[in-house]
Copies of this chain bind each other. A is one copy, B any other.
């Protein structure tokens, strides 16, 4: 939860003067998102989200993110649509930071995802992958396999303070994952961070959850499509006690496959992709754990939750061993 940058009234008013959005009605910090500062903005023209880009986002990459969102929205995906100012530019500056206004999406993210959320989630992920086709520019995955060994090195000085022997265990997992990493699987633009707090739902007329929107595309990149599925299996299919819920995993895969069928090669690669996804979140959490100043306004997330996931996925060579 985060608002890192306060925006003065004068700065906000001057910023909004660059848009055709009408008069300011309300402006509240949102307690969600840990990377950027987000404000709920209401004008006489409607509801919007104003994002100020902080810390981890490279300003040079923002045109790619905003371009992808525009491309996805134009193809019917329910995602935030960047709003251009009078001069046609969506990427602007506010309070010394890059900033953009996007459309507001209705919906509620599930605090406790149930099986009923998982098939719609899978379907929405596949729809995102399909809608991303045709967006020409690529963005390398900075937190993909090539980044894991360097990140582990940066964690090494403090990593074992979280759990003795952790770095050595990760050395072993990482060598195996990089050795087994699949080649030749279908690639495209992936979300790469589709956790429950990035997926909004509303009930359909039968009160079943329906995805109303996907948000937070600032880890999006161009990579193996099935790796995005593996991230969702990590993010959506473990219970609070970290038991793997195979019913949820089946629902994610079924929902995905109804929109974009997974090939036999993609299914066969899921175990190593899931191990890789577990390592990716373990390493960034481990780094943050060891490097977040005490008193920072961020909830540090426990890296060891992902060690549990990693060990689970590493215990089997084939997806059928998980019960899928």
Contacts and interface: CB of A to CB of B under 8 A. Distances in A.
* Chief secondary structure at chain A's binding surface: loop
Given A9-B108, A30-B30, A42-B106, A294 B297 contact: no
B32 A29 contact: yes
Interface string A43-60: 000000000000000000
A273 B108 CA distance: 46
Interface stretch (A19-27, A132-140, A177-185): A19-27
Interface in A271-315: 294-300
A299 B112 CA distance: 28
Contacts of A300: 295
Given A40-B28, A42-B106, A297 B1 contact: yes
Given A8-B112, A111-B9, A28 B32 contact: yes
Contacts of A297: 1, 297-299
A202 interface: yes
Contacts of A110: 9
A31 interface: yes
A108 B26 contact: yes
Contacts of A296: 295
A29 B27 contact: no
A151 to B, nearest CB: 23
A120 to B, nearest CB: 13
Contacts of A168: none
B27 A108 contact: yes
Chain A, interface residues (CB within 8 Å), range: 35 or more
Contact of A108 (B3, B12, B200): B12
A67 B107 CA distance: 32
A221 B12 CA distance: 34
A242 interface: no
Contacts of A202: 24-25
A3 B106 CA distance: 20
A111 B7 contact: yes
Contacts of A200: 26
A2 B24 contact: no
Interface in A93-127: 104, 106-108, 110-112, 114
A6 interface: yes
A299 to B, nearest CB: 6
Contacts of A8: 111-112
Interface in A197-224: 200-203
Nearest to A10: B112
Contact of A28 (B7, B26, B30): B30
Contacts of A107: 25-26
Contact of A30 (B2, B29, B42): B29
7 contacts: A3-B31, A9-B114, A23-B203, A30-B40, A294-B294, A295-B300, A297-B298
| CB-CB nearest 10 A-B residue pairs | A29-B31, A294-B294, A31-B31, A27-B108, A3-B31, A8-B112, A8-B111, A6-B111, A25-B106, A26-B106
